[in-house]
């Protein structure tokens, strides 16, 4: 009985393999050089019009595209917003920025520390996880208390960072507009993607 089941499985496997060898998808297609334009830009445009291609970061003149921290508007906006504070850690690959304790000259017994964790690279309201910590010390600086305060300052930081990131994103789009013949931006439902 076991031998019969094994033989049936082997026969079914062989029949599936033979039936798959007759599929059109596995056969190589004959391609003529006459069907493709010699200019690479025309080939790219033809492929995009036919829905066969895609482009990363919209620049046809560059080779491999690496997204460094300086090209990420959200990262740049965060560092620009916190540029007055000393940084303990700024790890782009880990997606976190942590400042050192910072205090104004007129209040040396009070200091603030900010940590920002990136949840996404998209510019949106829930992209950042911001935590603000306050340290209050007694006059002799021996007794300090640290508290987490995520109220108005967090909302102000988030709004400021998102505004700067949006501004940087628009600058990047404008700078690449001349090099990119295609429309840049998110496609909306019903959008025909035609240039005006």
Residue 31 lies in a domain: no
User: Across the beta sheet with 128-137, what order do the strands follow?
Assistant: 87-91, 96-99, 110-118, 128-137, 144-148
Residue 78 lies in a domain: no
Long-range contacts of 13-20 (CB under 8 A, 24+ apart): none
Cα of 14 vs its chain's centroid, Å:
46
Residue 123 lies in a domain: yes
Residue 118 lies in a domain: yes
Residue 135 lies in a domain: yes
Mean pLDDT comparison of 19-23, 24-28, 30-34, highest-scoring range:
30-34
More confident residue, 102 or 182: 102
Residue 144 lies in a domain: yes
Rg of the chain (C-alpha set): 28
Residue 12 lies in a domain: no
How many independent structural domains does the chain possess? Answer: 1
Instruction: List the structure tokens of 65.
Output: 């595209």
pLDDT at position 3 over 70: yes
Residue-level pLDDT at 66:
43
Of 89-93, 128-132, 143-147, 180-184, the poorest mean pLDDT is in 180-184
Residue 142 lies in a domain: yes
pLDDT at position 173 over 50: yes
User: How many Å apart are CA 153 and CA 145, to the nearest integer?
Assistant: 19
Average pLDDT over all residues of the chain: 77
Structural domain boundaries, residue 113: 85-172
Cβ–Cβ under 8 Å, residues 115 and 98: yes
Residue-level pLDDT at 27:
59
Residue-level pLDDT at 115:
94
User: How many Å apart are CA 104 and CA 101, to the nearest integer?
Assistant: 10
More confident residue, 170 or 57: 170
User: How many Å apart are CA 81 and CA 160, to the nearest integer?
Assistant: 7
Strand partners, 97: 90, 116
């Amino acid at each position: 009985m076991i031998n019969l089941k094994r033989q049936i499985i082997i026969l079914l496997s062989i029949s599936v393999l033979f039936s798959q060898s007759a599929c059109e998808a596995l056969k190589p297609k004959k391609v003529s050089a006459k069907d493709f334009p010699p200019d690479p830009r025309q080939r790219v445009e033809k492929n995009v019009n036919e829905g066969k291609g895609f482009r990363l970061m919209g620049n046809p003149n560059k080779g491999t595209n690496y997204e460094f921290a300086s090209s990420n508007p959200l990262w740049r906006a965060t560092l620009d917003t916190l540029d007055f504070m000393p940084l303990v850690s700024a790890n782009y690959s880990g997606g976190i920025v942590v400042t050192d304790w910072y205090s104004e000259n007129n209040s040396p017994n009070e200091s603030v520390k900010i940590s920002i964790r990136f949840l996404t690279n998209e510019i949106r309201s829930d992209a950042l996880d911001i935590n603000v910590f306050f340290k209050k010390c007694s006059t002799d600086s021996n007794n300090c208390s640290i508290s987490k305060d995520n109220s108005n300052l967090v909302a102000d930081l988030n709004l400021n960072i998102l505004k700067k990131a949006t501004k940087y994103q628009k600058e990047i789009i404008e700078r690449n507009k001349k090099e990119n013949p295609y429309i840049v931006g998110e496609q909306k439902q019903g959008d025909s993607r035609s240039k005006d």
